[in-house]
Amino acid sequence: MQGRIRFGCGLVLLGSFGYSAGTVRLPAGSNFTAARGTIACPTRTNRMPHFLDIAIGTVTMRPYVFAFFGAFLLVCVPHVGWKRTLAFTLAGYSIAFGSEWLSINTGFPYGWYYYIDTTSCRELWVAGVPFFDSLSYVFLSYCSYSTALFIISPLKAWRWNVATLETRAIRRSFSALLLGSFLQTCLDIVIDPVALQGHRWFLGQIYGYREAGIHFGVPLSNYGGWLLTSFCLIAAFQLIDARRLDDAPKGAVNIPFRSLLGPLLYLSVLIFNIVMALVIGEQFMALSALLMYTLPTLMTVVLAMGRVNRYTKEQLGEHLRDYPWSPAGRILKGGKQA
């Protein structure tokens, strides 16, 4: 874990001192036309902006990304503690950055695409990849994994609270890994077409594909790459979370309805992108996303309602053995369980 932390810190330092190094140029014959009003960055012969300006710009230019990242911290820390949250943030960023750097240089795993450097003088880029882009993988993978846990775990509900009776076996299961990977990939099926139209909203045109794909301009290879990368990200989270703890990790607290916060973050990202599709006039794109998610969402809700308080004593006992600090095991006055 220390090696992953050192590697992640090294990437951030790399971005601090060489934020525009390795920016991919537009490929010959590209049909991309710069959005009207786009301000190109100065050439690299100009004086490098102060890192503080870059740091501030990284946040102010992408407030929605950091809002989602802040929500991720507020959900993940109470779930697994701040140390594991930090470890996954660094490991997840490193995996995401590595996958993007590989793809813009080798075409694997997403296929050939390129970033359009118009903002590296105002926000942090690392070796040709926007910092915020790789960071977004962290909260996307966590909320997808958390949603998978909600779907496959027994549920215990009582007044003003609901908890997933997840166990170490469930958290480390292949079912959670596979389902979480597909949930994250499905989320990108909505996100990527909207992001590709970034010149029509406040994202800006930051990337393009060498050849337009069949799904609103996105090639299918992109989604194959997302599935593979999501698998690696969630597997990394499972590995970081694997060690058994006797006491609650620092930062882990029992927030009411905490088990619902991960799925709510997932839905928030989904709704944000559907709304942006509507804002830019892409009604068919928004309708496609709504139709894709309507049945799975309905099935998740209906099946969850059918699982509430239908757990066995063995399931509750295993949950409390693995996570004795869980609110599901507290005792009310009179000796009855909550």
Q: What is the pLDDT of residues 44-75, one digit of tens each?
A: 444 555 788 898 889 989 999 999 999 999 99
Radius of gyration of the chain (CA): 21
Which has more pLDDT, 285 or 330?
285
**Residue carrying structure tokens 């220390």:** 2
Per residue in 223-278, pLDDT (tens digit) is 999 999 999 999 999 999 999 888 889 989 888 899 999 999 999 999 999 999 99
Sequence-ordered alpha helix ranges (H) in 63-173: 63-80, 82-106, 131-152, 168-171
Query: Over 60: is that where the pLDDT of 7 sits?
Result: no
Q: How confident is the model at residue 4 (pLDDT cuts 50, 70, 90)?
A: very low
Whether residue 336 is contained in a domain is answered as no
Q: What is the pLDDT of the chain when averaged over all its residues? A: 86
Query: DSSP letter at 331?
Result: B
| Nearest C-alpha neighbor of 198 from the set 271, 270, 118 | 118
> Which domain does 309 fall in, by range?
2-326
Q: Which region among 3-17, 89-103, 302-316 has the lowest average model confidence (pLDDT)?
A: 3-17
Query: Over 60: is that where the pLDDT of 141 sits?
Result: yes
Sequence-ordered alpha helix ranges (H) in 172-254: 174-196, 220-240
Per residue in 162-186, pLDDT (tens digit) is 999 999 999 999 999 999 999 999 9
Whether residue 295 is contained in a domain is answered as yes
Q: How confident is the model at residue 120 (pLDDT cuts 50, 70, 90)?
A: confident
State which amino acid sits at residue 273: N
Whether residue 334 is contained in a domain is answered as no
Whether residue 332 is contained in a domain is answered as no
Whether residue 192 is contained in a domain is answered as yes
Whether residue 56 is contained in a domain is answered as yes
Distance between CA atoms of residues 128 and 114, nearest Å:
9
Rounded to whole angstroms, the maximal C-alpha distance in the chain is 76
Structural domains in the chain (count): 1
Q: What is the mean pLDDT of residues 113-123?
A: 90
Whether residue 335 is contained in a domain is answered as no
Burial of 122 (0-12, 13-18, 19+ CB in 10 A): middle
Burial of 211 (0-12, 13-18, 19+ CB in 10 A): middle
Whether residue 338 is contained in a domain is answered as no
Q: Residue 240: CB partners within 8 Å, gap ≥ 6? A: 1, 84, 87, 88, 91
State which amino acid sits at residue 94: S
**Residue 209 is inside which H or E element, if any?**
strand 207-209
Q: What is the mean pLDDT of residues 77-92?
A: 97
